[in-house]
Amino acid sequence: MRKLGFFLILFFISLEGYTKKTEENSEIHDLMAYLLDPAAEAIWNSAGYVITEEGEFNLEPTDQEGWDKVKHGAKVISESSHLLSMPNRAVDNVQWVTFSMALKEMGERALQAAEKKDSEELFKVGADLYQVCVACHQIYWVKEE
Amino acid sequence: MKTTLRIIAFLFFGVFTLQVYAHHAFTAEFDRNAPINITGKVVKVEWINPHAWVHVEVEDESGKTVWMVEGGTPNTLIRNGITKKTLVPGTTIIVRGYQSKGKLCLPRCIANGRDVTFPDGSKVFMGSSGTGAPRDGADPREPNRE
């Protein structure tokens, strides 16, 4: 019974530490909220279709300014991989960094698609980007506000 | 000692699992205790990442209401057999899903779709796996735990 009490104390101490660590990760939260989310939205909102009874509308950018916004988003995503991998931010050196580097690849692919003005490829990259996000969030989750 | 370890393992996994699910996107936006069936005509389909959106016009004695139903990724829908050719505006469908937390339809009615039934009676999963949505049996690839 004493052992159980000892382990319970250890458990609650570690839980408190975990909670504090999560709250301290507001840097990651901000990086997601102010850099990665808007960058991903720029890619997601620039590829795809809207179908109504009036017809089908392609969401691809119609001018250079629109493609430049996609390029900006793509570059933010690829460079954010380094920001996420900084030693004081990386939760571990294996999976965390692997997911971060996967983001880099997504950003680079999106940039190439935008440079070629290839909306079909951009649509595929958008889908793959989301899979990277989901896979990472299923393992790591930063506390929401 | 085994019992002690079991209790510790239970506490750890129980609490950490709750933490993960408590902050998931589904529970942030939708109410698992507010299931809904939406029967109406498709008026608009947005094939965009990360979620396709199906706009369904419901007509009753009070008038017409358009529900925005969130689906899985376009790729997920296509893999399940929902395509631009099968989900066309004008089709009457039945969507089973969950309402958004703000149930007053302000500024618009929003729901998370789990499955969609077509006029020929075929029912297809239209949601996302592993997003924290209830394991209600809608996703044939996901074990039903609830």
User: Which domains does chain B carry?
Assistant: 25-117 (2.40.50.140)
Complete DSSP assignment for A44-83: HTTSEEEEETTEEEE-S-SSHHHHHHHHHHHHHHHHHHHH
Q: Which residues of A touch B12 (CB under 8 A)?
A: 11
pLDDT score at A4:
55
Tell me whether B117 touches chain A (CB under 8 Å): no
CB contacts, 8 Å: A48 with chain B: 46-49, 74
A44 and B49 within 8 Å at the Cβ level: the answer is yes
Q: Is B9 on the interface with A (CB under 8 A)?
A: no
Q: What is the gyration radius of the CA atoms in chain A, in angstroms?
A: 20
- What percentage of chain B carries pLDDT values higher than 90? 54
B49 touches A: beta carbon within 8 Å:
yes
Task: Find the mean pLDDT for residues B46-57.
Answer: 96
Rounded Cα distance, B143 and B146, in Å: 9
In this prediction, residue B12 carries a pLDDT of: 41
Give chain A's mean pLDDT: 85
| pLDDT tens-place values along chain A, 145 residues long | 565 555 555 444 444 444 444 444 688 889 999 999 999 999 999 999 999 999 999 999 999 999 999 999 999 999 999 999 999 888 888 899 999 999 999 999 999 999 999 999 999 999 999 999 988 988 887 444 3
- Give the per-residue pLDDT at B133: 75
